[in-house]
Amino acid sequence: MKFTSIQLLIIILLFSFLKAGYSSFNLQSETILHGKLILPAKQLKKQESHSLLIELDIMDGWHINSNQPLEDFLIATEITFTVQEGVSYGRMQYMKPELKNFTFSETKVSVYEGIVYAKTTITIPPDFIGSDILIEGSIYYQACNDQSCLAPEMIKLSTSIPVVGANVQVEEINQGVFKRILPQFDELQQPEEIKQ
């Protein structure tokens, strides 16, 4: 079957439109949530516990379920870290969620929107061998808008940081965000335990 030049042009334009639309959807689904590890210093001391913040940056127009959703069909947000020999992580604490009404639920939904944080601690033993440590974790979440929810997804968290002796002076960083955010976790009564 032969196509005229006009028909070929229409087919090319239609294919380009569909491809662009598909790419835009993929880009949106991949960028709904950005996760970032925030450390208190440029080095971590052995034989000490260090606070660790996890920043969750959620795209405008979307939300993710809290770590304790109120409906059985909704998937909880869960942050976990890879266990390393001798290194231990403390309890995971999540910020207080918002309770909001959405068209897909008859009751209020427990969600996070915008930029929120979770907190844990990392403890490095005095006999830790190595000059640096790789902190690896993941965020498992379900993103929703006002009409519906997407399938659950997981994003990885990873950063490497030097480890120094207990008597070495370290350079503090990110103190502004720690001073602003940590008091909010002090008010929580029942923090969530990390599930490894």
Whether 92 and 117 have beta carbons less than 8 Å apart is answered as: no
Average pLDDT over residues 70-97: 93
For residues 1 and 67, membership in a common domain is answered with: no
Domain shared by 25 and 91, yes or no: no
Q: Which of 65, 54, 58 is nearest to 32 (CA)?
A: 58
Mean pLDDT taken over the chain: 84
Q: Record the tokens describing residue 36, joined without a space.
A: 């970032």
Q: Residue 137: pLDDT band by 50, 70, 90 thresholds?
A: very high
Domain count of the chain? 2
pLDDT at 117 exceeding the cut of 90: yes
Domain assignment present for residue 5? The answer is: yes
The set of residues, in sequence order, having a beta carbon less than 8 Å from that of 69 and lying 6+ positions away, is 75, 76, 109, 110
Q: How many CA atoms lie within 13 A of 19 on its CB side?
A: 6
Residues 15 and 78 in one domain: no
> Would the pTM count as exceeding 0.85?
no
Whether 138 has a pLDDT exceeding 50, the answer reads yes
CA–CA gap between residue 136 and residue 138 (Å, rounded): 7
Q: Are residues 108 and 168 in the same domain?
A: yes
Q: Which of 70-79, 115-124, 185-194 shows the highest mean pLDDT?
A: 115-124
Residue whose entry in the numeric block shows the structure tokens 């960083």: 173
Same domain, 82 and 150: yes
| Residue 176 placed within a domain | yes
Q: Is residue 192 part of a domain?
A: no
Contact 149, 74 (CB under 8 A): yes
Q: What is the mean pLDDT of residues 19-46?
A: 72
Max Cα-Cα span within the chain: 80
User: What 3 state SS string does the chain have?
Assistant: CCCCHHHHHHHHHHHHHHHHHHHHHHHHHHCCEEEEEECCECCEECCEEEEEEEEEEECCCCEEECCCCCCCCCCCCEEEECCECCEEECCEEECCCEEECCCCCCCCEEEECCEEEEEEEEEECCCCCCCEEEEEEEEEECEECCCCECCCEEEEEEEEEEEECCCCCCCECCHHHHHHHHHHHHCCCCCECCCC
Q: How far apart are the first and last CA of the chain?
A: 60
| Per-residue pLDDT, 20 | 36
Higher-scoring residue by pLDDT: 103, 120: 120
Tokens 């808008």 belong to which residue?
145
pLDDT at 44: 97
Q: Which domain holds residue 127?
A: 32-186
Binned at pLDDT 50, 70 and 90, residue 189 comes out as low
Residue 52 sits in a domain of what CATH number?
2.60.40.1250
**64 and 120 inside one domain:** yes
Based on the fold, state whether residues 172 and 132 are members of the same structural domain: yes
Query: Residue 133 has what pLDDT?
Result: 95
